[in-house]
């Protein structure tokens, strides 16, 4: 079964074939029907969304110019600040937090006249690979509600896959956009570090975090990226780099596309069905005339260890502010000022967040900094150099997004190391600051989606999206939708 894409939705509204208000009503009806089953959202505001849709319809009726995404229903991951409602990060720590300002990407969406319907569930503070770590309950995969949707942007992916919204935004620190995109059978992009402003994103790992779009197709993702990308004075890590018209370049001939595949991404631990589907996807490129050749990423085997030192060290630092005094939940009856800190953090943070804070504090502590954190930074440089060399020979590197299909709820929740290994193919793009995309490339025998990951050169999102679009012109996996999304 296929569903309307973001572009189809936008064009239908713009041509007055359907009103924004009608489309928003359809989104809200689907949320009402599916949310008890899927738990994709932390919050939504139907009255606010309907009013926004009406405003767009009125402007179109008057013949006024409207924005790039006029009237299109969009959902935000709930670690993106909004000046209305709550921004919880799916944590008890921020359960009642109301931001005084909106994130840069939220301002960009509003300027483009998108209708923001609600805020999506996530692993607490974006720490997880399954969206089971939310303080408000796990999100379920619409293809099989006994399975996880991936994480940490699981709610954002489920919202798109189930038709609650035409597109969504997530954040990606080590695969948190791409893994849910893979598990939910949609397209998701982590842009180059610095391509999209992180202003208003609640920080997890500041040198790794990046905001990106999730939608059904590469064209949809290109439209969202065009709106949110670009320099922002308020984020010192955002880059003064020209933003191409991503949708406009999609149909340009790629001209001698070269696709690399790394043997290191097809090794131990890779599920047989995932391997078969990923290899078949790469053959689609070969059949379409692309040059397909092997590349080598010798330090990829150290990526998970490197990532979980760097990311947890940055998390330990970033989450120090949530202490019951400056920010967040405060323990009800502390015995003294030390207990304010201890009890507030004990009550406010979940188990996985505590685990990562402790690990990060350890690797930064006196006597261990050189042995762990400094060494991880050196390995990070080696991983980036591997990619630099590989991209001298190829335009994109293709491989499986995840080593396994969607896992069952609870399957790995008590085995952190097994859970961390689900990110084995995704964390390297964050460590190297590269753009990377996941798109659907097939279904397993039991009907679960599998994603193909494409990684590109820094700030070459245009070529990456063109490569993804090329694949989607030869296949129809991106048109498939779970049965649960039927009207």
Active site residue 176: yes
- Contact by Cβ (8 Å): 307, 351: no
**Catalytic residue (one of 91, 152, 343, 344):** 152
- Residue 137 CB neighbour total at 10 angstroms: 12
Rounded Cα distance, 432 and 224, in Å: 23
Q: What sign for the dihedral angle of Cα 136, 81, 157, 164?
A: positive
Q: How far apart are CA 98 and CA 94, in angstroms?
A: 9
Q: Does the annotation count 77 as an active-site position? A: yes
One digit per residue, the tens of pLDDT, for the chain of length 487 reads 357 999 999 999 999 999 999 999 999 999 999 999 999 999 999 999 999 999 999 999 999 999 999 999 999 999 999 999 999 999 999 999 999 999 999 999 999 999 999 999 999 999 999 999 999 999 999 999 999 999 999 999 999 999 999 999 999 999 999 999 999 999 999 999 999 999 999 999 999 999 999 999 999 999 999 999 999 999 999 999 999 999 999 988 887 899 999 999 998 899 999 999 999 999 999 999 999 999 999 999 999 999 999 999 999 999 999 988 888 898 888 888 888 888 889 999 999 999 999 999 999 998 999 999 999 999 999 999 999 999 999 999 999 999 999 999 999 989 999 999 999 999 999 999 999 999 999 999 999 999 999 999 999 999 999 999 999 999 999 999 999 877 6
Query: Does the annotation mark 412 as catalytic?
Result: no
Question: Which one is catalytic: 19, 77, 102, 171?
Answer: 77
- What residue ranges do the domains of the chain occupy? 6-263+388-485
Out of 3.40.50.150, 3.40.190.100, 3.90.1300.10, 3.40.630.10, select the CATH number for domain 6-263+388-485.
3.90.1300.10
Q: How far is CA 250 from CA 8, 68, 246, 290, 467, in A?
A: 16, 17, 7, 16, 8
pTM > 0.85: yes or no: yes
Q: Could you say which of 20, 91, 171, 176 is catalytic?
A: 176
Tokens describing residue 481: 């939708």
């Amino acid at each position: 079964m296929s569903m309307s894409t973001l572009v189809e939705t936008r064009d239908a509204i713009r041509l007055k074939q359907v009103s924004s208000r009608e489309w928003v009503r359809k989104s809200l009806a689907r949320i009402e029907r599916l949310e008890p089953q899927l738990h994709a959202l932390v919050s939504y505001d139907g009255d606010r969304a309907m009013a926004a849709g009406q405003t767009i319809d009125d402007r179109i009726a008057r013949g006024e110019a409207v924005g790039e995404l006029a009237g299109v229903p969009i959902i935000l991951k709930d670690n993106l600040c909004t000046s209305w409602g709550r921004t919880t990060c799916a944590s008890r720590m921020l359960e009642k937090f109301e931001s005084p300002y909106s994130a840069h990407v939220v301002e960009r969406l509003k300027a483009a006249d998108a209708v923001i319907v609600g805020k999506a569930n996530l692993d607490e503070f974006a720490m997880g690979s399954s969206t089971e770590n939310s303080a408000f309950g796990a999100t379920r995969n619409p293809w099989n509600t006994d399975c996880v949707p991936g994480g940490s942007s699981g709610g954002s992916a489920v919202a798109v896959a189930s038709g609650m919204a035409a597109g969504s935004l997530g954040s990606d620190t080590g695969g948190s956009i791409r893994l849910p995109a893979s598990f939910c059978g949609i397209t998701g992009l982590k842009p180059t570090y610095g391509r999209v402003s992180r202003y208003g994103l609640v920080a997890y790992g500041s040198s790794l975090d990046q905001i990106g779009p999730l939608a059904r197709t590469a064209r949809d993702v290109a439209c969202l990226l065009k709106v949110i990308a670009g320099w922002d004075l308020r984020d010192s890590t955002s880059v003064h780099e020209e933003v191409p018209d991503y949708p406009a370049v999609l149909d340009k001939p790629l001209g001698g596309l070269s696709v690399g595949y790394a043997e290191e991404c097809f090794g131990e631990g890779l599920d047989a069905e995932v391997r078969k589907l990923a290899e078949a996807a790469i053959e689609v490129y070969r059949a379409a005339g692309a040059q397909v050749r092997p590349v080598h990423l010798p330090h990829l085997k150290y990526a998970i260890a490197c990532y979980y030192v760097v990311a947890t060290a940055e998390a330990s630092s970033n989450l120090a502010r949530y202490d019951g005094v400056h920010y967040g939940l405060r323990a009800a009856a502390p015995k003294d000022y030390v207990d304010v800190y201890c009890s507030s953090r004990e009550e406010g943070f979940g188990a996985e967040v505590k685990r990562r804070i402790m690990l990060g504090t350890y690797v930064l502590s006196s006597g261990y900094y050189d042995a762990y954190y400094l060494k991880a930074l050196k390995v990070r440089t080696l991983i980036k150099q591997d990619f630099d060399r590989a991209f001298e020979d190829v335009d994109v590197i293709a491989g499986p997004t995840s080593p396994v299909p969607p896992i069952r709820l609870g399957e790995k929740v008590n085995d952190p190391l097994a859970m961390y290994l689900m990110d084995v193919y995704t964390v390297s793009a964050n460590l190297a600051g590269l753009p990377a995309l996941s798109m659907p490339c097939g279904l397993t025998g039991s009907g679960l989606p599998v994603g193909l990951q494409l990684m590109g050169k820094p700030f070459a999102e245009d070529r990456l999206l063109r490569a993804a679009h090329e694949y989607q012109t030869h296949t129809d996996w991106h048109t498939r939708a779970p049965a649960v999304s039927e009207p």
